Structure 1
Amino acid sequence: MPVRARDVMTRRLATVQAEDTVDAAAQRMLRTGFSALPVVRGVDRLVGIVSLVDVLRHREDGGPGEAAVGTIMTTDVLTMSPATGAAVVAHRLRTYGELRVMPIVERGMLVGVVTRSDLLRGPRERPGLLTRLLGRAPLPDPTPPRRPRERPAGATTVGEVMTRGDLVTARADTPCSEAVKLLLDHRFSLLPVVDAAGALIGVVSEADLLRDPLAGDRSAPPTTLRAAMTRSPTTVRPDTPLDEARRLVTERGFRVLPVTEGTRLVGVLSRSDLV
């Protein structure tokens, strides 16, 4: 039986209203651990998507935090129905590189979202008939959200806000299946790959590990990160100005930037660190 969007989607939704402030939307994304949220009006009528990049771009332009989400959201939103095949959703998420959240809409109402993490996780238990008749299934998100860290006041460099110490990394010979588990367990979108001396040799993302069933590639999928990872990734240094790092994120769409001193990995910088 083919896997459908309804089988993998997240049903307990975090959303924002178009009338909410940009600052409120940013805080909701930080609390829930999502980098983008559906924007709704009324009872779950989808009107747009807002992301942390939208927030960062708004602030770069000098926009006030009290501005309405509706002024910065993306309104031309690609959606799919619960009956859409998961393979089609995966193809769309890979085709549109910036897109990480696929809203699932039924009869004009938002009923769920599918992320790359949902596709890597695979099908969940189908909700019963009564649950389907009553609306949303009361399913918790499979992994509790990460708590946002406090950002130091007046920070100006990457080293002041980056995540350091106890970094979650992988090795080139790490099995892809183990890397998927690490990404899902920690709700990461990217893992640094290091050698035995702690030098950064690559990164692996959800997209690297999410195979596109409609791409026509009949070769065997990679079994270790050596074949799956992206080599020579873009990095920043601890002394890189935050403004420069913010421009990399907003202009080139990076979600996570490894932080290195020489070749040694010393931290990671995510979009949420810049908000």
Structure 2
Amino acid sequence: MVLRARDVMTERVVTVWADAPLSRARDRMAEARFSALPVVDRTFSLVGVISLVDILRHRDDPGATVGDAMTEQVVTVQATTAVSVVAHRMRVYGELRLVPVVHKGQLVGVITRSDLLRARRAGGLFRRAARRLGGAGITGPMPEAMVPRGAGRIGGRPVSSLRVSDVMTDGGLVAIPPGLALDEAAEVLLSYRFTAVPVVDDRDRLLGIVSEADLMSGSTDGGRRTRASTVDGVMTYDVEVLHPGDPLTAAEHLLAERGFRVVPVVDDDQVLVGVLSRSDLLP
């Protein structure tokens, strides 16, 4: 039986209008803890997609609307599109995390990378696989690192006056070991709505990062299982990092201009001491 878009899509979609102020999209992302939203007109026809990075790139324009910042050329699928085709498009378009599902131009649902991972996973909870830095096990909800919070920590301060340490998330960090099974890594990301998680050794030194995209491309290839069975076979090793004392403008370049969602922050010994996400840079 072929799995179709309608089988995995989310039908109750959080949307925003194109003529709404950009702050409205930011607030809706914060409320729903999403990193992108479909943009619709009054007939619920899809007209674009707005993401956190779009908001960051237009934050110096107080009069900007969602329509000014959104991406109009959107990759869409039909409800009958095979899930394998959706996954392929997400792998081809690396920045793509949300694919609208449309019928005669009207939005009927969305598919995210999380939806695809959820459909693929073997089942069972593996929260024990993740750990807080320092060796303590995870017994309750994970912290909000690496998920959109919407309310940035900059406030009214000029970015040029701040350091990475002023806004980074540095409490209750979560990391996983390189030998973790792919299904377990997917469970960590799904259970706590992470888009990526750092990979560290037993001394908390950063080895790399594994994202939803890594798990999607690593666990299957054209519908066939690949040889990789653990995180170290699919993770990204050559990772851009920041240091606590770096100027925040350097982080802004990585997150807003180069499109990174999460950047690990390390000390001089490469020990993970924080993470910085796009939402941290919101005013």
Structure 2 residue aligned with 1:92, among 89, 93, 100? 89
Give the residue type in structure 2 aligned to 1:186: Y
- CA drift of 1:264 comes to 0.4
TM-score, normalised to structure 1's length? Answer: 0.86
CA distance in structure 1 between the partners assigned to 2:100 and 2:251 by the alignment: 29
Task: Give the superposed CA RMSD.
Answer: 2.3
Alignment of 1:189-228 (within 5 A): 189-211=195-217, 216=222, 220-228=226-234
**CA 237–214 in structure 1, closer or farther in 2 if over 3 Å, else same:** closer
Partner residue, 1:27:
27
Partner residue, 1:239:
245
Partner residue, 1:169:
175
The Cα offsets for residues 96-127 of structure 1, whole Å up to 9 and x where unpaired, read as 1111110000122101111111100017xxxx
CA distance in structure 2 between the partners assigned to 1:87 and 1:214 by the alignment: 10
- CA drift of 1:152 comes to 5.1
Q: Are the aligned partners of 1:255 and 1:271 in contact in 2 as well (CA < 8 Å)? A: yes
Partner residue, 2:124:
none
- CA drift of 1:220 comes to 2.7
Divergent runs of 4+, >6 A: none
**Is structure 2 residue 103 aligned with structure 1 residue 106?**
yes
**CA 220–152 in structure 1, closer or farther in 2 if over 3 Å, else same:** closer
CA distance in structure 1 between the partners assigned to 2:254 and 2:199 by the alignment: 21
TM-score, normalised to structure 2's length? Answer: 0.83
Count of paired positions: 253
Q: Are the aligned partners of 1:87 and 1:213 in contact in 2 as well (CA < 8 Å)? A: no
- CA drift of 1:150 comes to 5.8
Q: Are the aligned partners of 2:218 and 2:228 in contact in 1 as well (CA < 8 Å)? A: no
Partner residue, 1:140:
none
Alignment of 1:1-275 (within 5 A): 1-59=1-59, 62-64=60-62, 66-122=63-119, 148=150, 151=153, 153=155, 154=157, 156-211=162-217, 216=222, 220-262=226-268, 263-275=270-282
CA distance in structure 2 between the partners assigned to 1:216 and 1:120 by the alignment: 15
CA distance in structure 2 between the partners assigned to 1:120 and 1:113 by the alignment: 14
Partner residue, 1:138:
none
Partner residue, 2:125:
none
**CA 3–218 in structure 1, closer or farther in 2 if over 3 Å, else same:** closer
CA distance in structure 1 between the partners assigned to 2:99 and 2:8 by the alignment: 11
Give the residue type in structure 2 aligned to 1:175: A
Q: 111-120 or 223-232, which moves further after superposition?
A: 223-232
- CA drift of 1:90 comes to 0.3
Give the residue type in structure 2 aligned to 1:79: T
Structure 1 unmatched ranges of 5 or more: 124-144
Q: Are the aligned partners of 1:94 and 1:212 in contact in 2 as well (CA < 8 Å)? A: no
